[in-house]
Amino acid sequence: MTITREDCLALDARDPLAGLRGRFALPDNVIYLDGNSLGALPRHVPSRMRTVVEDEWGAGLIRSWNDAGWIEAAHRTAEKIARLIGAGVDEVIVADSTSVNLFKLLVAAMRLRAGRDLLLTSIGNFPTDAYIAQGAADLLGAELRFVEPDMSSVVAALGSRVAVLAMTHVDYRTGRILSMHEITAAAHAAGALMLWDLSHSAGALEVDLDDASVDLAVGCGYKYLNGGPGAPAYAYVARRLIDQVRQPLSGWFGHAEPFAFAADYVSAPGIDRMQCGTPPMLSLAALESALEVFDDVSVAALRAKSMALSDLFIRLADETLEGLGVTVESPRDASLRGSQVSLKHVDGYAIVQALIANGVIGDFRAPDILRFGLTPLYVRFVDVFDAVHAIGSVIRRGEWNQPRFLWRKTVT
Amino acid sequence: MTITREDCLALDARDPLAGLRGRFALPDNVIYLDGNSLGALPRHVPSRMRTVVEDEWGAGLIRSWNDAGWIEAAHRTAEKIARLIGAGVDEVIVADSTSVNLFKLLVAAMRLRAGRDLLLTSIGNFPTDAYIAQGAADLLGAELRFVEPDMSSVVAALGSRVAVLAMTHVDYRTGRILSMHEITAAAHAAGALMLWDLSHSAGALEVDLDDASVDLAVGCGYKYLNGGPGAPAYAYVARRLIDQVRQPLSGWFGHAEPFAFAADYVSAPGIDRMQCGTPPMLSLAALESALEVFDDVSVAALRAKSMALSDLFIRLADETLEGLGVTVESPRDASLRGSQVSLKHVDGYAIVQALIANGVIGDFRAPDILRFGLTPLYVRFVDVFDAVHAIGSVIRRGEWNQPRFLWRKTVT
């Protein structure tokens, strides 16, 4: 029996998280399935931004570093994130970008494992992660190796030369979840440190860094955390390592006494040492404010809805996209799948553009992936129904096969 | 003949730049002399921020990277800064923080002068600059040396081992301007690269990087450029060097084809390679918007007013603060003085706090500097009069000598 739109409306009607969508200012006539690239705007954030701009910056001026608590914003924001990733509040700090934090932690890891000269990461890791690993390895005279992200390949590649294994928890193309516990244990068994990038998992599925004994982690503020375009990122260092970590971007915000204006760098005790320069307060304030959406929300409940959404997406794709040259690239086992469904089509780029023109916003990832993020905070079951049917319509009617959709992309 | 308040009002009445103050949303009952730490809010920025938050992020969502031109914001912003620092638009990019950009450029400089193992910077350089230099030298196995920032000391310290000389154009404590042309020429004569930090000069006085043949520069977006708390910073690389520069923070925004999601890092042609991760768009949008204040303003005119303001400040200090234990720490020759006047008093910290309580906002820099920034865009001559008289009153009446002002500082 095929799934009807009414079935999906019924699913929404009994969704215990349905009310969360009201916390977001989503535009009309859009089905937004790209929250894994840029999260939607929480409805309360504009008011907070007016306050930070007009009252705190405008009227408070320099006094707001103390009086409005800007100086502690990176900590307060990190506390909200810590809960989502199974970390202690003393293990997480918000600073810089994911790329910059990854660089800090890779260099710190190589120093913690001095004598080991190999940095291991996965084939198909998020591109900027691979680029930063190349930059760090190059600078340190270390060797960078890429390994397929399956257990047997990883275990075979680990060895006494590997200082750190750096992987991304959820594959950005396929949405496949890697086993954080098993891979971390394998790295540790080989004496290596384990670093995870949580950019495509935190906020949409359970992450438990402490429980998995993860050493280091980074993650993005603007995808499932909804912190706004280019929101600051976060870094995690396990409590047992924090006081040994030496990161190279030794700016004043990571100094033990930033306002002493001392001549020599002395790293702050604890996780503060991962900070570098003055944080971009307006962007940081948006992230801090946006995270309030999660305050009363259980990640387990989000995960349950996310799996139901993506199960529905795949079932609808199977039912309605047959014979259209589309294949499902995400794992069919929901327990192995992040909060997205990826399809594959040789004309994926043009199809995604045509879908956007029809108000269904997913994204394209080269060479042929159509990616649909299913943020459980605000995506409805009926959105999934409408989106999959729109995909079918666009392909069937050949809508994508028009010059304006076949232009070479600049940005997708 | 002593200067009266009426004299200062008359100076304001005939100040050709007096109208610029109306471009800023300054609070009532405050004399703001800390624009060298956090510039004031331009009046038009809140409206721009509402647009970027509500329309571009909220309604446009991921589409705004293209449709709202976010992807080019770092370039557009850099173009506005280029004009203020005597650089070509192809030589400047906005990215990250001053500290992070300094790290990138110091490492790039050491690579450009491979075979030289010494990094030279000045005693009393801005603390985070010294910390970052320590971090970079440590990572590269280079030696870091500190030199007094006078010509003869610098010339004596330069030699065949020095890869790069890194200095700050205007001393943050005293406001002394270093000779960019002479010091750059000395570095070049020794075969070293020259890097300037413009954080305390750009936007308040003339900087001509191209004319001085400077190699590398960084600067801050939130001081005289008024970009908002923690605004993104900028980096400059001379045109002749850009295509040789290899910076270690090789994130995807510096990739030749960021949206190809290729496995290997290939640095972008030109200045784009200095970018790393996704920029914090809300903070970047504020900076871009704030810079419009400068669009029709001549830096030479700003500099002329700035010198007049600081001349007035010093003359008033001489006239009214005698016998109060205060000395002027800034150069008395206006041509050697940035857009600030620094006083020295053994109880500087408590006095600055008491002044702030009286609505006169300067800042304190350890151990004993009272620092007053005179942003020519919005500080009036009468503000200088009122501020210097307030300093005298606070000290004379012993207002600072109260327990609440003598608390040990947390942040100043």
Query: What are the tens digits of pLDDT across the range A171-192?
Result: 999 999 999 999 999 999 999 9
Could you tell me if A202 and A237 lie in one domain? yes
| B313 carries an active-site annotation | no
Q: Which residue from A minimizes the CA distance to B103?
A: A249
With CB atoms and an 8 Å threshold, state whether B130 touches A260.
no
Query: What are the tens digits of pLDDT across the range A58-71?
Result: 999 999 999 999 99
Neighbouring-strand partners of residue A31: A360
Query: What are the tens digits of pLDDT across the range B49-103?
Result: 999 999 999 999 999 999 999 999 999 999 999 999 999 999 999 999 999 999 9
Could you tell me if B218 and B99 lie in one domain? yes
Q: Quick check: is A60 in a domain?
A: no
Pairwise pLDDT comparison (B408 vs B179), residue with the higher score: B179
Q: Give the pLDDT score at A410.
A: 44
Q: How many domains does chain B have?
A: 2
| A409 carries an active-site annotation | no
pLDDT band per the 50, 70, 90 thresholds, residue A260: confident
With CB atoms and an 8 Å threshold, state whether B97 touches A248.
no
Could you tell me if A228 and A210 lie in one domain? yes
With CB atoms and an 8 Å threshold, state whether A139 touches B139.
yes
Q: Quick check: is A64 in a domain?
A: no
Domain boundary among B294, B325, B349: B294
Share of chain B above pLDDT 90, in %: 94
> In the predicted model, what is the mean pLDDT of residues A395-407?
82
| B126 carries an active-site annotation | yes
Domain boundary among A265, A294, A323: A294
Could you tell me if B240 and B315 lie in one domain? no
Distance from the B127 Cα atom to the nearest Cα atom in chain A, whole angstroms: 6
Could you tell me if B149 and B218 lie in one domain? yes
SS3 per-residue string spanning chain B: CCCCHHHHHHHHHCCCCHHHHHHECCCCCCEECCCCCCCCCECCHHHHHHHHHHHHHHHHHHHHHHHCCHHHHHHHHHHHHHHHCCCCCCCEEEECCHHHHHHHHHHHHHHHCCCCCEEEEECCCCHHHHHHHHHHHHHHCCEEEEECCCHHHHHHHCCCCEEEEEEECECCCCCEECCHHHHHHHHHHCCCEEEEECCCCECCECCCCCCCCCCEEEECCCCCCCCCCCCCEEEEECHHHHCCCCCCCCCHHHECCHHHCCCCCCECCHHHHHCCCCCCHHHHHHHHHHHHHHCCCCHHHHHHHHHHHHHHHHHHHHHHCCCCCCEECCCCCHHHECCEEEEECCCHHHHHHHHHHCCEECEEECCCEEEEECCCCCCCHHHHHHHHHHHHHHHHCCCCCCHHHHCCCCCC
Could you tell me if B303 and B289 lie in one domain? no
pLDDT band per the 50, 70, 90 thresholds, residue A361: very high
* Among B253, B282, B342, B383, the residue to mutate for chain A (most A Cβ within 10 A): B282
- pLDDT for A299 beyond 90: yes
Q: Give the pLDDT score at A402.
A: 82
Q: Quick check: is A278 in a domain?
A: yes
Q: Which residue from B minimizes the CA distance to A43?
A: B58
CA–CA separation, A18 and A13 (whole Å): 7
With CB atoms and an 8 Å threshold, state whether A264 touches B130.
yes
Q: Give the pLDDT score at B313.
A: 98
Q: Quick check: is A315 in a domain?
A: yes
- pLDDT for A80 beyond 80: yes
Of B50, B61, B365, the CB nearest to A32: B61
- pLDDT for B408 beyond 60: no
Q: DSSP for A269-304?
A: SGGGGG--S---HHHHHHHHHHGGGGTT--HHHHHH
Nearest to B166 by CA among B120, B117, B211: B120
Q: Quick check: is B25 in a domain?
A: yes
Catalytic residue from among B104, B273, B365, B371: B371
Catalytic residue from among A24, A32, A103, A126: A126
Of B46, B61, B250, the CB nearest to A135: B250
Distance from the A2 Cα atom to the nearest Cα atom in chain B, whole angstroms: 32
Q: Give the pLDDT score at B290.
A: 98
pLDDT band per the 50, 70, 90 thresholds, residue B409: very low
With CB atoms and an 8 Å threshold, state whether B230 touches A411.
no
With CB atoms and an 8 Å threshold, state whether A411 touches B252.
no
| Full domain range(s) for residue A99 | 69-294
Could you tell me if A144 and A272 lie in one domain? yes
Q: Quick check: is B367 in a domain?
A: yes
For residue B280, cis peptide bond before it (omega within 30 degrees of 0): no
- Structure token pair of residue A28: 């009309």
pLDDT band per the 50, 70, 90 thresholds, residue B407: low
With CB atoms and an 8 Å threshold, state whether B249 touches A365.
no
- Chain B residues touching A277 at Cβ < 8 A: 96-100, 128, 230, 233
With CB atoms and an 8 Å threshold, state whether B32 touches A138.
no
- pLDDT for B260 beyond 90: no
Could you tell me if B320 and B349 lie in one domain? yes
| Average pLDDT score, chain A | 96
Query: What are the tens digits of pLDDT across the range B19-38?
Result: 999 999 999 999 999 999 99
Distance from the B162 Cα atom to the nearest Cα atom in chain A, whole angstroms: 19
- pLDDT for A412 beyond 60: no
Could you tell me if A232 and A310 lie in one domain? no
CA quadruple B119, B124, B127, B128: dihedral sign = negative
Catalytic residue from among A15, A197, A272, A368: A197
Q: Which residue from B minimizes the CA distance to A97?
A: B277
Domain boundary among B274, B294, B314: B294
Could you tell me if B193 and B242 lie in one domain? yes
With CB atoms and an 8 Å threshold, state whether B248 touches A53.
no
Q: Quick check: is A221 in a domain?
A: yes
| Residues contacting residue A27 through CB under 8 Å, at least 6 positions apart | B58, B59, B61
The CATH number given to whatever domain includes residue B245 is 3.40.640.10
Could you tell me if A327 and A247 lie in one domain? no
Residues B359 and A61: beta-carbon distance below 8 Å: no
Q: Give the pLDDT score at A137.
A: 97
pLDDT band per the 50, 70, 90 thresholds, residue A400: confident
Nearest to B291 by CA among B6, B7, B23: B23
Q: Quick check: is A401 in a domain?
A: yes
Q: Give the pLDDT score at B404.
A: 76
Distance from the B140 Cα atom to the nearest Cα atom in chain A, whole angstroms: 8
Q: Give the pLDDT score at B261.
A: 83
pLDDT band per the 50, 70, 90 thresholds, residue B411: very low
* Among B220, B261, B404, the residue to mutate for chain A (most A Cβ within 10 A): B261
The CATH number given to whatever domain includes residue B21 is 3.90.1150.10
With CB atoms and an 8 Å threshold, state whether A99 touches B259.
no
CA–CA separation, B355 and B222 (whole Å): 23
> Quick one: DSSP state of residue A39?
P
Could you tell me if A267 and A311 lie in one domain? no
Catalytic residue from among A113, A116, A161, A223: A223
- Chain A residues touching B127 at Cβ < 8 A: 252, 255, 258, 261-263
Q: Give the pLDDT score at A407.
A: 58
Catalytic residue from among B126, B224, B294, B364: B126
